[in-house]
Structure 1
């Protein structure tokens, strides 16, 4: 399995428009972060986790030529706003499977009604096939996917375990039985927004405590804001098996 970090930034991305913060002014490419998303590749299939507003740029940057499905963590704009840009894949492949919680599918139907409707559909609109996710494992093209249920402030969000790889973003609180689903995972990705506490995201301290609790072989931090600091400086502070993810990073599991 190969995983590409398409974006590792918070909802505004880095740099933030108009900001004079030193991290926003950094010339280091690893300090420039698009909105969070990963591409999971196995056995010739490409599965996208979240389709945010930077989707088109991310596909071009990584020369992605096939998209077999999209799986959504939740309905917030930085995770969903790029859905219209699946059109090139739709024109070549037909309807794209979309997996999400029923609440998220409802939000997508409302926002992108011209994609989900079958009545008088505009001929240039992409098409999707909907699959509702519940809190239980399912299989897609031979890959077992286990949803991990947690809270982003009070909003329900799904993270996902793809066999030896787990991806959790926008996490603030989680029940013990959901953490148990991560037992023996080799690679864990989790959000670490900044150093100061936040009402709906792990800060760095909370993320590191969670990683220690799960005890993966390797962990990566994502959904990072400029307030966490410069990539190279933060990387030096982290435990040996923990790293800051950065845009276009590719790992193999």
Structure 2
């Protein structure tokens, strides 16, 4: 399995428009963060988790030539806005893309991309197959077993995903003991760490570190990072040895 971090930033991305802070004006490319998304390539399938506003550029940057499925974590714009950009895979590969989401997220997709689901079809529409995700009920994409994991983004349920020994969770603030048990034993964990200061709906850096140490994965990568967290190089020096900051374009293999 090969993992590529397409984006590791929060909803505004980094740099933030009109911000002159040290992170937003940094020349270190690791401080430039597009909206959060990850690519998972296995022996038989190419899967993306979330397609935010930067999706088109992310695919072009990484030279992605194939896509089988999109898994959605939740319906916020920074996670769904790029769904329309699956169209080249429809036309060039003659492929309908499988989209996996909870019923609530499906309803949001039908509102935001109403034209995809309209009774009157016209040439050029994205072509998708919708599949319903039920948290706690695993499903298959090709040979890959996918385990949905419910976490809470303040009051909003979010779906994380475990694919083999890889677990990806974003926008979490609280995680139940039942969900923790689904995560345990994973070798590579990805978890959100927005900033150092307290936040109502996201793990802080210290909360993410504590959670990662409780899970005990071989390595944990932090994502969904805002400019408030600090400079990449400086924050990296503060982390335990088996916890790292993810950055756009980072590739790992399991």
Match for residue 10 of structure 2?
10
Following superposition of structure 1 onto structure 2, how do residues 146-225 of structure 1 map, counting pairs within 5 Å?
Answer: 146-225=147-226
Asked if structure 1 preserves the Cα contact closer than 8 Å seen for 2:45 and 2:141, the reply is no
Counterpart Cα distance in 2 of 1:210 and 1:198: 16
TM-score, normalised with respect to structure 2: 0.98
Match for residue 43 of structure 1?
43
Counterpart Cα distance in 2 of 1:95 and 1:75: 21
Match for residue 31 of structure 2?
31
Please list every run of 5 or more consecutive structure 1 residues that lacks an aligned counterpart in the other structure. Answer: none
Match for residue 127 of structure 1?
127
Counterpart Cα distance in 1 of 2:95 and 2:217: 38
**TM-fit CA distance, 1:124:** 1.4
Following superposition of structure 1 onto structure 2, how do residues 102-141 of structure 1 map, counting pairs within 5 Å?
Answer: 102-117=103-118, 119-135=119-135, 136-141=137-142
- Provide the aligned C-alpha RMSD in A: 0.7
Instruction: Give the 3-state SS of the residue equivalent to 2:186 in structure 1.
Output: coil
**TM-fit CA distance, 1:219:** 0.3
Asked if structure 2 preserves the Cα contact closer than 8 Å seen for 1:116 and 1:128, the reply is no
**Any runs of at least 4 consecutive aligned residues in structure 1 with deviations exceeding 6 A, and if so which?**
none
Match for residue 55 of structure 2?
55
**TM-fit CA distance, 1:168:** 0.3
Instruction: Give the 3-state SS of the residue equivalent to 1:91 in structure 2.
Output: helix
Instruction: Give the 3-state SS of the residue equivalent to 2:157 in structure 1.
Output: strand
Following superposition of structure 1 onto structure 2, how do residues 56-71 of structure 1 map, counting pairs within 5 Å?
Answer: 56-71=56-71
Please list every run of 5 or more consecutive structure 2 residues that lacks an aligned counterpart in the other structure. Answer: none
Asked if structure 2 preserves the Cα contact closer than 8 Å seen for 1:116 and 1:127, the reply is no
Counterpart Cα distance in 1 of 2:117 and 2:216: 41
TM-score, normalised with respect to structure 1: 0.98
